[in-house]
Structure formats: structure tokens, C-alpha cells
Amino acid sequence: MTETSTALPEEDVLQQALNWKQDGKDVALATVVSTWGSAPRPAGSQLAIDETGNMSGSVSGGCVESAVIQEALDIMQSGESKLLEFGVSNDEAWEVGLACGGKIKVYVEKLN
Amino acid sequence: MQTELLKDLQDARRNKRQVVVATYLNSGEQSLLFPFETKEKSDLLEAARTALIGDKSSQTEIEGEPVFFNIFNPELRLFIVGAVHIAQNLVPMAVAAGYEVTVIDPRRSFGSEFRFPGVTLDNRWPDEFLADADADRRTAIVTLTHDAKLDDPALQHALRSEAFYIGALGSTRTREKRHQRLTREGFTEDDFKRIHGPIGLDIGAKSPAEIAISIIAEITAVLRKKLS
């Protein structure tokens, strides 16, 4: 992280993705592109994943991350970007501290 | 995403440029957009500009194609000229609202670590500070000293910047005198109108804390386009 200047937050998801890539790892990036209802994280929220399943950031505050990681690992192999859709049920929404459910679309792409 | 594009994005963010990553969700095609740095006009740039102003990443249809605009606005900054009592109340409120705050006062007994623990202080004259600070479209500047020697040079610099909000403490009478001084310096009516004053929303604020609330409320209203 030597190159990161003070202008970026210490835990910057994109910088983490770039650092992994520069370390020679395969990296995928997941981005929330739309939300309905009380989705836990707003559009633009990002999660970076490396080939060993390390992650930085979040797209939902925990409820769909493991599914996203699975897809991300596949996408690192195939190279094909994908648009995933998740419904966050009331129960799961409750788990992440929300009173009602929501829906999110997540775009997952490989860092080439 | 191409690694080169990501590198360019990170450079742009470090340089506090307002940048958007546009992704065509069907084709995966991506580009970096700097809608405030070009005179070029297109639906794509217009949508990116709207997203930056609204401070919200969002998906829109461009020529029938779904495009996602991921926005990267630089951090909001607030420059407070005058390390006065109101400033002591304004700093924590501005920090809570997400601003990176700098308090500027060359009078060291005012702008001291003792009075502003943990706050970024600058003891240069306001005009020297502002000449270096590069106030941009995400910067608000307030002058609180009541002293024309300090406030005026700061306001002159502020008016030459793109700061989204400029506010000056002082009564209607003080404001009229300031108006005359700035006019003598060659500033126009439109320039002067950019200065909010008497500063703050009119909520009947009396104490320094209440005045700070009215200031942060006014800055918020301008940022979110409820006021011009």
C-alpha cells in the first residue's frame, strides 16, 4: 500500500483489488448496481475478491457475500462478467439489522 | 474491468477529480467519464453529471442500453476561517456530516491545539492558505472572524474558486460594508450573491452551538440543491 496517498481512505476496496492484481493474483470486483426496498448497501457499494477467496468491502452487509464469492471465483476462470440478482428475505434482512426485506442486483467482473 | 482503467481511476481519485465509471451492463464495456472537465455534450455525460451532483451511483438507460454510473466524488471539505467560539461548535458537526475540516487563523492564541484538539489547524493568513488549498466544487468556505482584515482576503479567494458554498458571519450592516469593499475590488453583483450572509438558515439561532447548527443546515441545503 505504499503508493496510496492520503487522498484515499485507508481501507480502499479498489486499492485492495489493485494491490492483489499487482501481486499476481486473479481478482474479481462485485458492484451493487441497483436496489429495491431496504437493501442493506446502496448502489455503488463494492466487494473485491481474490483467487483464494479473500475479500475487501461489502455488497450487502453479509447476507449475499458468500454467494457472490462463489460466482466471483467462477468468473475469474471464465472471464465472463455477470449480473446477479438477490432477494434479501425478511429473515435475512432481520439478521443484517433491517426491519424489512429488499432486492439487489450485483455486477461481477474480472479484473483483466 | 481493465487494470489500466482501475489505475487511472485511482489516480483521478487521488487528485480529487470528480470521476464516474460508466459500465454498459450488457456488453461489459467501460469508460471513465469526467463530465465537469469537458464541454462535450452527450446523454452519457449528462447522466454522469447528474449522478455526481446527486452524489449517488445509479443505473440509467442510454440509447436503450442499461448503463451503471459508479460515481467517485472527492471528500467534502469545509474551510473555516476564524478559530472562534462558533468554530469550536461547528467543527464536530461538520465532521459528523462527513466533511474534512480545516480551521484557518493566523492568531495563534485562537487557532491553538488547546482550543481545537485533534483538528487540522492552519496558522497562515487565509489568503495564503486558500492560494494553496485548491477549493473545488466539493468545498465549502465560511468566514467567522468579524474582522475584515482576515475575512475579506478569504472571501476574495473563495469567490475566485469553484467552492459550492461561501458564507460569511456578520449582520446585515456588516454585510453592506463588505459589499462595498468587494465592489471596490472589482467583484460583481453576481459574485457577491454567492456569499451567504447573514450566515446560516434563519432558525432564530442565538448561542454559538445554535449558530453552528444553522450554518451546517445551510451548507447541507446548498449541497443538496434545496437552496442556491
ipTM of the complex: 0.82
pLDDT band at residue A7 under the 50/70/90 scheme: low
| A28/chain B closest Cα distance in angstroms | 9
Q: B25 to chain A: which residues are within 8 Å by CB?
A: 33, 83, 107
Cβ B195 vs Cβ B159: under 8 Å: yes
**Distance separating alpha carbons of residues B23 and B70, to the nearest angstrom:** 8
pLDDT recorded at residue A6: 47
Q: Helices B208-223 and B85-96 sit at what angle, rounded to 10 degrees?
A: 40
pLDDT, tens only, A38-77: 777 889 999 999 999 999 998 887 778 888 999 999 999 9
Cβ B185 vs Cβ B156: under 8 Å: yes
pLDDT recorded at residue B54: 85
**Distance separating alpha carbons of residues A14 and A29, to the nearest angstrom:** 8
pLDDT, tens only, B47-85: 999 999 888 999 999 999 999 999 999 989 999 999 999
Query: In terms of DSSP bridges, do strands A102-110 and B165-168 run parallel, antiparallel, or are they unpaired?
Result: unpaired
State chain B's mean pLDDT as an integer. Answer: 94
Quick check: bond before B66 cis, omega within 30?
no
Q: Does the beta-carbon distance from B56 to A107 stay under 8 Å?
A: no
Q: A59 to chain B: which residues are within 8 Å by CB?
A: none
User: In chain B, how long is the greatest CA-to-CA distance?
Assistant: 61
pLDDT, tens only, B118-163: 999 999 999 999 999 989 999 999 999 989 999 999 999 999 999 9
Choose among B3, B7, B59: nearest Cβ to A112.
Answer: B3
pLDDT band at residue A33 under the 50/70/90 scheme: very high
pLDDT recorded at residue A87: 78
Please provide residue B56's backbone torsions phi and psi, each rounded to the nearest 5 degrees: -140, 125
Tell which residue, B191, B190, B208, has the closest CA to residue B199. B208
Asked if residue A4 has pLDDT above 80, the reply is no
pLDDT recorded at residue B9: 97
Choose among A5, A7, A112: nearest Cβ to B1.
Answer: A112
Asked if residue B26 has pLDDT above 60, the reply is yes
| A3/chain B closest Cα distance in angstroms | 10
Q: Helices B148-160 and B172-184 sit at what angle, rounded to 10 degrees?
A: 60
Asked if residue B173 has pLDDT above 80, the reply is yes
Question: Which residue in chain A is spatially nearest to B21 when comparing CA positions?
Answer: A44
Q: Mutate one of A4, A41, A112 to test the B interface: name it (highest B CB count within 10 A).
A: A112
Return the residue matching grid coordinates 475579506. B152
Asked if residue A1 has pLDDT above 60, the reply is no
Asked if residue A90 has pLDDT above 70, the reply is no
pLDDT recorded at residue A29: 97
pLDDT band at residue A2 under the 50/70/90 scheme: very low
**Distance separating alpha carbons of residues B67 and B78, to the nearest angstrom:** 33
pLDDT recorded at residue A93: 54
Q: How many residues in total does chain B contain?
A: 228
**Distance separating alpha carbons of residues A29 and B17, to the nearest angstrom:** 22
Q: Which domains does chain B have, with CATH numbers?
A: 3-72 (no CATH), 76-223 (3.40.50.720)
Q: What own/partner pairs with CB < 8 Å and gap ≥ 24 does B48-56 have? A: B48/B20, B48/B22, B51/B20, B52/B18, B52/B20, B53/B225, B56/A42, B56/A43, B56/A44
In this structure, the number of other CB atoms found within 10 A of the CB of residue B12 comes to 19
Query: In terms of DSSP bridges, do strands B76-81 and B99-104 run parallel, antiparallel, or are they unpaired?
Result: parallel
| B204/chain A closest Cα distance in angstroms | 36
Q: A17 to chain B: which residues are within 8 Å by CB?
A: 6
pLDDT recorded at residue A106: 93
Asked if residue B88 has pLDDT above 80, the reply is yes
Within 13 A of B191's CA, how many CA atoms are on the CB side? 18
Tell which residue, B113, B118, B111, B119, has the closest CA to residue B81. B111
B6: contact with A, CB 8 A cutoff: yes
**Predicted TM-score (pTM) above 0.90:** no
User: In chain A, how long is the greatest CA-to-CA distance?
Assistant: 43
Number of CB pairs, chain A paired with chain B, less than 8 A apart:
59
Choose among B13, B16, B59: nearest Cβ to A34.
Answer: B59
Please provide residue B72's backbone torsions phi and psi, each rounded to the nearest 5 degrees: -130, 95
Q: Does the beta-carbon distance from A18 to B6 stay under 8 Å?
A: yes
